Amino acid sequence: MIISLGGASPGDFAETDNCSQSPLAAGKTCVINVTFDPVQTAARSALLQICDNAPHSPQIITVGGTAVQATAAVSPTGTTSFGGALAGTSSAPVTVTIANSGTARSVLSVAGASVDPAGNFTFTNNCTAGVPAGASCTLTVTFTPLASPVAAPCGSTAGAKTATLTITADAPTSPQIISLSGAAMDFCLAPSGVASQSVTAGTPATYQLVADFLDSFAGAVALTCADAASLSTCTVQPATANLTSGAQVPIVLSVVTATNSAVPFGTAPDARQLGPPVPHTPAWSARCDSRKPARFPFCSRPASWHVLLAAPRAMPPVGTTTGTFALTVTGTFTGTGGSTSRSVQVTLVVQ
């Protein structure tokens, strides 16, 4: 038995069988499978021809089908610019639409998407199901520039960022490629004068700092300080640094330490104590007579209280402990894409 495909479009069909391997015995059957795998759209047809030693050979069967094609139309095209975003926060998302503009009854399958290089741009793929002709699905892309690592200098991740979004689908124009771009902005805090000062306990210290911008960042940065020294207070002025492109903001960090001195007398808790009652027995108690209270007035009096007075306890000196301490100024920016902080440390040596 010989089986073959002919006719108008035999290349759009394929057949497999278990009939041509050996003669078919009486009463037995075999199976021929034909699949439609078109290379062009529109109506396609072919002839399945079966040649054997039976009457009416060859046997001819017409096979056919209509080929449809899904088409992936992506928008926006070209380069998608996200503008600027502060490192460590996120930009407003951009929606990428994938439409199936192919022929009727076609279904577009989006196999996947990827960003190269990864890190500064993220996406959410909402195209998890087949897209019929005339319909569409979306991807959401966000610019999320990375903040500087802890050990790296502030602003080390600032600057222009680019990447490529690749979308793969079962369409002739696949893969679809979109260029992504954005600018990672940043702000930094740094000393503008000496970063270490030595003082005697009770003496104030002042540090000059500066808030600076990178890549056109502008915004209100809230400033706070933390003081590791004991009985020491830090303040920072201004409380908010309003950064604008092209201008630094000076910052003053002030520290007040406490004098090492003894606590003045009288500030310690009252050291007086009341002891238990001690009976008072006059020497003439043996002559007490309840019938003669006027002569012996103590006979009718109750026991008296014995009062103890303790000397004030010596208090140790109290003040800012000597040593080397870190003072930290932190600036926090909060925007629509989240909040992020930057910090700077200076050193206080208390003698």
Q: Which of 10-19, 56-65, 112-121 has maximum average pLDDT?
A: 112-121
The CA-based angle 9-15-20, given to 5 degrees, is: 125
Pairing mode, strands 323-335 and 219-227: antiparallel
Task: State the DSSP code for 247.
Answer: B
Query: Residue 43: its pLDDT value, please?
Result: 84
Residue ranges of domains in the chain, CATH in brackets: 2-67 (no CATH), 72-186 (2.60.40.10), 192-260+318-350 (2.60.40.2310), 273-308 (no CATH)
- Structure tokens, 301: 């009096």
293-322 residue pLDDT tens:
555 454 555 555 454 555 556 556 578 999
Instruction: Provide mean pLDDT across the span 158-186.
Output: 94
Among candidate residues 121, 92, 139, the one with its CA nearest the CA of residue 179: 121
- Residue 180 to residue 79: CA distance in whole angstroms: 6
Helices and strands (H and E) in the chain: how many? 0, 25
Closest by CA position to 158, among listed 211, 82, 86: 86
CA distance 228 to 239: 20
Q: Which residues contact 152 (CB under 8 A, 6 or more apart)?
A: none
| Residue 268 pLDDT greater than 50, yes or no | no
How far, in whole angstroms, is CA 330 from its chain's centroid?
Answer: 19
Confidence grade of residue 220 (pLDDT, cut at 50, 70, 90): very high
- 103 compared with 184, residue with greater pLDDT: 184
**pTM given for the model:** 0.65
The dihedral over CA atoms of 14, 20, 26, 28, expressed in degrees to the nearest 10, equals: -50
What is the structure's pLDDT at 65? 86
Choose between 174 and 302: higher pLDDT.
174
- The SS3 assignment for 12 reads helix
Cβ contacts of 55 within 8 Å, gap of 6 or more: none
Report how far residue 225's alpha carbon sits from residue 238's, in angstroms, rounded to the nearest whole number.
Answer: 11
Is residue 272 within 8 Å of residue 218, measured between CB atoms?
Answer: no
> Alpha-carbon Rg of the chain, whole angstroms?
46
Sequence letter at residue 253: L
Q: How far apart are CA 207 and CA 326, in angstroms?
A: 13
Phi, psi of 74 (to 5 degrees): -105, 140
